[in-house]
Amino acid sequence: MNVIDESGILAIATRLQRLSDQIRKDGFQVYKAHGIDFEPKWFPVIYTLFHKPVLSVVEIANEIGYTHPSTISLLKELEKEKLIRSKKDKIDERKRLLQLTEKGQILVGQMQPVWDVLKMATAEMIDTENNLMRAIEEVEGQLKEKSFFDRAAAQMKRV
Amino acid sequence: MNVIDESGILAIATRLQRLSDQIRKDGFQVYKAHGIDFEPKWFPVIYTLFHKPVLSVVEIANEIGYTHPSTISLLKELEKEKLIRSKKDKIDERKRLLQLTEKGQILVGQMQPVWDVLKMATAEMIDTENNLMRAIEEVEGQLKEKSFFDRAAAQMKRV
DNA sequence: TTAATATATGTAGTCTACTACATATATTTG
DNA sequence: CAAATATATGTAGTAGACTACATATATTAA
């Protein structure tokens, strides 16, 4: 075991990221193996527009939990791929409304079985004593109650 | 609840990264609140050199689980900050040996209480039904046995 | 009804990791 | 021992997120 893994908790951010990268890379390969040209980073937008067919930029950003600039750059790529298209909102001229193109809808259809495979593979992978998905949800809940910074500040006073 | 959180497992990579970012940002603020000029990304290198005082570039990379180019760019920053220094290995001329400077050692001394605070705050944060740290370790173990791609491939055959 | 404020979108540049490629030295093999 | 291979380090460019700032339209308040 290396020093970092031993440091445990202190390098938790690093280890979360490492795990994320690993899963994402393999995810890309899974799509590829199914002959589908799709990048995992596109998933949140596509999945969201599949379930809520017409949304503005900021609405999508909120749904996927990204900032709006990050969202915009994803939208640009997806428009370039012709998987989504946009139109001005006639009521509110500031808004740009996004939706899947027909090509996008067909792709979603092709991806559904892949999503099932990914779901099952992930479920199997994280089905250990401490379930990773539930742990994430629980910690997200904890952070909502009290930020990590506030927790550290509270500990500080105790010392 | 938004669509992505509902999609659960499928967006697990995204959520791991989001959580990592959140923790890292607050971590930076905690150092700052203690009057310490230290970036969380430096932690793995500094912590490693603190426990293993003289290491080459690749040895550090392996310890912290990064690629060597990533490691080199961290080392560059830390040398600029005069927290570490390097010298050629006299036996193997290819190698560059790194170690903490006196400034680096003093900083580690100052950071120890902060590390304690961070440890306690993290422990408290992840002490839920499913412990995040243990979940990470368990999933890392699972991936060692069988990659995520291989798991998906196996599921594929079943369908 | 104008002025102030809020919201929606967009651009530029940054951050922290990566991959791909290049070079220098060491080690192994024919 | 020379050639092939392996290892150590380094550089350049990429990826996927971010923050900070800018602009246009809508809403609220004086």
Which tokens go with A25?
A: 């890379």
Among left, alpha and beta (phi > 0; psi -120 to 50; other), residue B82 is: left
Per-residue pLDDT tens over the stretch B123-155:
889 889 999 988 988 898 888 888 888 899 898
Residue A89 pLDDT > 90, yes or no? Answer: yes
**CA pair distance A132, B136, nearest whole angstrom:** 7
pLDDT digits over B11-63, tens only? 788 888 888 888 888 888 888 888 898 988 899 999 999 999 999 999 999 99
CB contact under 8 A, B64 and A116: no
Token pair belonging to B109? 């001394």
Count how many Cα atoms sit within 13 Å of the Cα of residue A32 in the half-sphere of its side chain: 9
Q: What pLDDT shows up at residue B49?
A: 96
* Spatial contact of A122 and B150, defined as CB atoms under 8 Å apart: no
What is the token pair recorded at B18? 């989001």
Question: Residue A156 is nearest to which of B44, B117, B155, comparing CB atoms?
Answer: B117
Q: CB distance from A42 to chain B under 8 Å?
A: no
- B130/A contact by beta carbon, under 8 A: yes
End-to-end CA distance of chain A: 31
| Strand C bases contacted by the protein (CB, 7 Å) | 7-13, 15-20, 24-27
Over residues A26-84, the pLDDT tens digits come to 888 888 888 898 988 899 999 999 999 999 999 999 999 899 999 999 999 999 999 99
Residue A23 near chain B (CB below 8 Å): yes
pLDDT, residue B14, reads 80
pLDDT tens column, B61-116? 999 989 999 999 999 999 999 999 999 999 999 999 999 999 999 999 999 999 88
Residue B6: pLDDT over 60: no
* Residues of chain A above pLDDT 90, percent: 46
What local confidence, expressed as pLDDT, does residue B159 receive? 59
State the pTM of this model.
0.83
Q: Which residues pair with A84 in a beta bridge?
A: A100
B131 touches strand C (CB under 7 A): no
CA A107: distance to chain centroid?
18
The predicted model gives A141-156 an average pLDDT of: 86
User: Given this model, what pLDDT does residue B111 score?
Assistant: 92
pLDDT at residue number A61 = 95
Tokens at residue B1, please? Answer: 């609840």
Closest residue (CA) to C1' of nucleotide C12 is A69
Q: What three-state secondary structure class fits A39?
A: coil
Task: Quickly give B85 CA vs C18 C1' distance in Å.
Answer: 25
